[in-house]
Amino acid sequence: MNTDFLIKEADRCVKCGLCLPHCPTYQLARDEAESPRGRIALVQGWAAGDLQADGSLLAHLDHCLLCRRCEGACPSAVNYTALMDAARASLPRTTPRWLPDVLADRGRQRIAMKLAAVAVKSGMQTWFPSAIVRRLLSIAAAIHEIGSASPATLKNRYAATTTLKGEVALFTGCMGGTVDMAAIEAAIMILTASGYAVSIPPSQQCCGAMHAHAGYQQRAAELKSINLTTFVNKSYEALITLSSGCGSYLADIPGLDSPVMDAGAFIQQIGGIRSLPLTEIRRTIAIFFPCTLAAMGQQKQVMALLHDLPGAELLELQGLGCCGGAGLHLIAQPHTGEQLVRPLIDQLAASQANIVVTTNSGCALQLQLAAKKAGLGISVVHPLELVAEQLVKTKG
């Protein structure tokens, strides 16, 4: 138990409260224990031996989305994510280990989706006493139905299709072959058309964020070590991610010698899409910026990229900041997620938009499921899928 770290990091909090207006769970509950400052005080009290790790304390910590919005507002630079990860590793764990294990492994994901489709269709899903299992089955079945579960074979390297400017590595993550395949193909197409060779080392693994945030630090460290060996000392201009949840976690790994960049932000940095032959899109496009893209500090570049999409009318979705997807929250804490996604769906319903772009697969899934439940015919895609679609039309 690392109480020294917990006490030291929690002591950095001066209790100023500047983070409170930025915290989605505090905005929902208006309860100090649902705020960053309150959660830090709970950890501090428990680490000092003044508080018991009872159900109430654990629930307040579990409700935290780890969206990192509080970190951006904190004048004392409290490393809130590290504090909460360490606290969850030291306290009794509330998320079963098998959950991140299943989600972080492509083979197990595919088996889960096939089983889920059968279980949900036959009604067997309701037989399971665990709410987490029932929720996992319904989400896995929905992904199966959306039809994004078709894994394609990826090559280890794609050559640039114009004059070579450099080489990047693409992080496909654990969900890469499951929910992000179209985004991966789009990124390869645009990066290679922009003069970059794209390397996709097959030894890469899940980033480890799900394990770390659920308190399983040893497994997170194992995954981190494999990814470090995979990506260091290779002279990549950037390690490109298509899911900012992975990106923000990878960016904090000491020793990675390539900058971790969101795919859209990198393309904007190397000159954007203006020189690409794109047809006009003529649509209203809603944009949802994930908390994790803000944590990476790359929101402006993605917005600038989308502004250069010819004929696009842009609408930024606001809500309470976070969509409530937040990694395992989507499965383990659906009630908070439903409250957080509702204003976004209301804004969408009142708009002309029939497509949403976002840079994180968890947010995309959360928005897709909520839109479907609300009866909205809206598709949710990665920004690069839209760009690639316009590029394909030009070529075709």
Q: Which residue ranges make up the site for ligand SF4 (CB under 6 A)?
A: 13-19, 22-25, 36-37, 39-40, 64-70, 73-74, 76, 78, 80
CB of 214: closest distance to ligand SF4 in angstroms? 14
What is residue 299's three-state secondary structure?
helix
The overall longest dimension of the chain from CA atoms, in Å, is 68
Nearest-angstrom CA–CA distance, 157 and 136 = 34
Of all helices (H) and strands (E), which one includes residue 262? strand 260-262
Nearest-angstrom CA–CA distance, 293 and 71 = 13
Asked whether the beta carbons of 284 and 244 are under 8 A apart, the reply is no
CB of 240: closest distance to ligand SF4 in angstroms? 25
**Residue partners of 393: CB distance under 8 A and separation at least 6:** 279
CB of 222: closest distance to ligand SF4 in angstroms? 25
CA-closest candidate to residue 83, choices 138, 11, 176, 157: 11
For ligand SF4, the closer CB: 81 or 258: 81
CB of 12: closest distance to ligand SF4 in angstroms? 7
For ligand SF4, the closer CB: 32 or 308: 32
CB of 80: closest distance to ligand SF4 in angstroms? 6
Per DSSP, what are the bridge partners of residue 260? 239
For ligand SF4, the closer CB: 40 or 380: 40
CB of 102: closest distance to ligand SF4 in angstroms? 24
Nearest-angstrom CA–CA distance, 336 and 329 = 8
Alpha helices per DSSP H over 204-320: 209-213, 217-231, 244-250, 263-269, 291-296, 299-307
**Residue partners of 289: CB distance under 8 A and separation at least 6:** 299, 302, 303, 316, 358, 359
For ligand SF4, the closer CB: 22 or 224: 22
C-alpha distance from residue 378 to each of 139, 322, 343, 350 (Å): 17, 19, 15, 13
Nearest-angstrom CA–CA distance, 83 and 186 = 37
CB of 72: closest distance to ligand SF4 in angstroms? 9
CB of 28: closest distance to ligand SF4 in angstroms? 10
Distance in angstroms between the alpha carbons of the first and the last residue of the chain: 60
- The burial of 354, by beta-carbon neighbours within 10 Å (0-12 exposed, 13-18 middle, 19 or more buried), is given as middle
CA-closest candidate to residue 198, choices 222, 168, 164: 168
Per DSSP, what are the bridge partners of residue 167? 197
CB of 315: closest distance to ligand SF4 in angstroms? 24
CB of 30: closest distance to ligand SF4 in angstroms? 13
C-alpha distance from residue 103 to each of 15, 48, 216, 247, 252 (Å): 36, 35, 14, 17, 21
**Residue partners of 282: CB distance under 8 A and separation at least 6:** 311
CB of 7: closest distance to ligand SF4 in angstroms? 14
